[in-house]
């Protein structure tokens, strides 16, 4: 019997239970549907990366690509090849769930089954519960229960005797032109495995190095995980034998990804709305010229500008700097987090609704287990603390490379280098943020 493997965020051959399930049903048509509902709002970096990732997958699997609404395309295709089953890894995002329900119904009408096997997570959302069968709202108890729940061993590799079906008419993968100067990481399963094993050799240093944006101290696995070029289960299995703070902290970071997916599953409205509704009542400023300065990396606060420029040049920003830049937008410029989250999703290759929007809400103080609103990051002291040699600022704000104090250039140095004066006074805006917070607390 013929089956269809509908790839989405699982662009790999190894440890891919849905693909193995499809092949177990018989000759398999591997399919990817370029869905305008996801493609059109994606920023160029993510589109370009997705196309690269699909090209990489096609070296191992003859994926047919179609364009259009998956509800029509998947059903038509399954009928065309006479499939009795369509296999997917379950999607837990707000849009993906709705889409899959609609596809499942349309397939059922045609007498075809949608089979969901696995998900992009080690433990799928809605599985980790407390003693009263409730989902967790706070990270630390979630992560304990998540580790206690455990996960399956990685699934095997692609069988040698895999049999594939092809479609006669498929579309060419589009070429995505990136603005000059943007350099994206290499996509695909092979690149993901290479990056992962290189990082695994230095995971012992992770605990110390991960908060320093000026050193290559993190794994850079987020885009590979986003597109499923490697599964977190594979990562966790490789970490299993390793003791020490580096491996332990790394496991916790994977748990954050799973926590946010769970929170978004429980509260799909929080993709747009405040998790803590009282924050919707706070007074905010409309995004204006300062917002543009933030987007373009010319706020006059070097660590903020370095981060915003790194984002545009590479489609990635260091986690510590994501927090600093997000805090600056919400608490120094008083702009609502949704504007910043949208900008991040426009540029991030790893842009992921759950991790991004809840990372923003956490920083804004309106999210889960949030850093209290009154703890306002001082961008200058954050820069000095986490980028002590100013290597990061020097790299991304090169006009400050030779000044005496790149984290707080003098007015004379700003004039000489053309680097702007601060768009706002942090001390005054910190107080303003606290005053506005008092109003919603009262």
Ligand X SMILES: Cc1cc2nc3c(=O)[nH]c(=O)nc-3n(C[C@H](O)[C@H](O)[C@H](O)COP(=O)(O)OP(=O)(O)OC[C@H]3O[C@@H](n4cnc5c(N)ncnc54)[C@H](O)[C@@H]3O)c2cc1C
Q: Does 256 bind ligand X (CB under 6 A)?
A: yes
By CB under 6 A, tell whether 220 contacts ligand X.
yes
Short-list 302, 366, 297, CA closest to 330: 366
Please check whether residue 221 is in contact with residue 230, taking contact to mean a CB–CB distance below 8 angstroms: yes
How many other C-beta atoms are found inside a 10 Å radius of the C-beta of residue 11? Answer: 26
Total residue count of the chain as it appears in this document: 442
334 CB-near residues (< 8 Å, 6+ apart):
283, 284, 285, 429, 432, 433, 436
Sequence-ordered list of residues with C-beta below 8 angstroms from that of 240, at least 6 positions apart, any chain? none
In terms of CB distance, is 349 or 400 closer to ligand X? 349
Rounded to a whole number of angstroms, the minimum distance from the CB of residue 255 to ligand X is 8
- Quick one: tokens of 286? 């409309």
Q: Which is nearer to ligand X, 155 or 195 (CB)?
A: 195
How far apart (Å, rounded) are the C-alpha atoms in residues 304 and 296? 10
260 binds ligand X (CB under 6 A): yes
**Which CB, 78 or 225, lies closer to ligand X?**
225
Asked if 210 interacts with ligand X (CB under 6 A), we say yes
Window 92-121: residues binding ligand X (CB under 6 A): none
Per-residue contact flags (x/-) with ligand X for residues 167 to 206, judged by CB under 6 A = ----------------------------------------
Read off the tokens for 339: 């504007």
- Interaction between residue 356 and ligand X (CB under 6 A): yes
Long-range contacts of 271-275, Cβ-Cβ distance < 8 Å, separation of 24 or more:
271/94, 271/353, 271/357, 272/338, 272/357, 274/361, 274/366, 275/358, 275/361, 275/366, 275/367, 275/368
Find the binder of ligand X among 360, 373, 377, 437 (CB under 6 A). 360
CB 275 within 8 A of CB 236: no
Residue 139 within binding range of ligand X, rule CB under 6 A: no
Which of 31, 33, 112, 254 forms a contact with ligand X (CB under 6 A)?
254
Measured CA to CA in angstroms, residue 271 lies from 122, 222, 261, 294, 336 at distances of 22, 19, 11, 22, 13
Window of 21-29, 248-256, 280-288, 307-315 that interacts with ligand X by CB under 6 A: 248-256
218 binds ligand X (CB under 6 A): yes
Residues in 325-344 that interact with ligand X by CB under 6 A: 326, 344
Task: Kindly state the smallest distance separating residue 357's Cβ from ligand X, in Å.
Answer: 8
Residues 282-321 that bind ligand X (CB under 6 A): 319
Residue with tokens 């230095």: 202
Residue 46 in contact with ligand X, rule: CB under 6 A: no
User: How many residues bind to ligand X according to rule CB under 6 A?
Assistant: 27
Q: Which is nearer to ligand X, 23 or 376 (CB)?
A: 376
Residue closer to ligand X (CB basis): 246 or 409: 246
Residue 348 C-beta: closest distance to ligand X, Å = 5
For residue 269 the two structure tokens come to: 């409205």
Q: Which residues bind ligand X (CB under 6 A)?
A: 210, 218-222, 225-226, 253-254, 256-257, 260, 319, 322-323, 326, 344, 348, 350-352, 355-356, 359-360, 363
């Amino acid at each position: 019997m013929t089956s269809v493997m509908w790839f989405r965020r699982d662009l790999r051959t190894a440890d891919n239970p849905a693909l193995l399930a499809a092949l177990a049903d018989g000759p398999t048509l591997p399919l990817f549907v370029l869905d305008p509902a996801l493609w059109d709002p994606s920023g160029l970096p993510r589109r370009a990366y997705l196309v690269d990732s699909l090209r990489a997958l096609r070296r191992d699997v003859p994926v047919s690509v179609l364009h259009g609404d998956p509800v029509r395309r998947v059903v038509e295709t399954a009928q065309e090849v006479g499939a009795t089953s369509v296999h997917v890894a379950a999607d837990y995002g707000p849009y993906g769930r709705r889409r899959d329900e609609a596809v499942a119904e349309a397939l059922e009408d045609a007498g075809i089954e949608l089979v969901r096997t696995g998900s992009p997570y080690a433990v799928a959302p809605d599985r980790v519960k407390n003693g009263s069968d409730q989902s967790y709202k706070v990270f630390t108890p979630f992560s304990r229960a998540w580790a206690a729940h455990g996960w399956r061993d990685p699934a095997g590799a692609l069988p040698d005797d895999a049999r594939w079906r092809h479609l006669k008419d498929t579309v060419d993968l589009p070429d995505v032109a990136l603005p000059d100067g943007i350099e994206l990481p290499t996509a695909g399963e092979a690149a993901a495995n290479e990056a992962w094993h290189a990082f695994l050799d230095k995971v012992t240093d992770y605990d110390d190095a991960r908060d320093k944006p000026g050193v290559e101290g993190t794994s850079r696995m987020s885009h590979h995980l986003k597109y499923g070029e490697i599964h977190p289960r594979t990562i966790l299995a490789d970490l299993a034998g390793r003791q020490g703070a580096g491996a332990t902290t790394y496991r916790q970071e994977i748990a954050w990804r799973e926590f946010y997916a769970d929170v978004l599953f429980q509260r799909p409205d929080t993709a747009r709305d405040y998790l803590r509704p009282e924050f919707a009542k706070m007074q905010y400023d409309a995004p204006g010229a300062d917002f543009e300065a933030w987007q373009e990396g010319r706020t006059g606060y070097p660590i903020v500008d370095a981060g915003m420029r790194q984002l545009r040049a590479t489609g990635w920003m260091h986690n510590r700097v994501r927090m600093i830049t997000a805090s600056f937008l919400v608490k120094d410029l008083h702009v609502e987090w949704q504007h910043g989250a949208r900008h991040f999703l426009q540029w991030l290759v790893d842009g992921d609704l759950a991790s991004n929007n809840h990372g923003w809400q956490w920083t804004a103080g309106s999210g889960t287990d949030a850093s209290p609103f009154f703890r306002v990051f001082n961008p200058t002291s954050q820069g000095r603390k986490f980028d002590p040699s100013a290597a990061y600022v020097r790299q991304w704000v090169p006009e400050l490379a030779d000044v005496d104090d790149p984290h707080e250039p003098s007015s004379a140095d700003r004039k000489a280098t053309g680097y702007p004066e601060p768009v706002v006074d942090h001390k005054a805006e910190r107080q303003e943020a606290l005053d506005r917070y008092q109003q919603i607390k009262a």
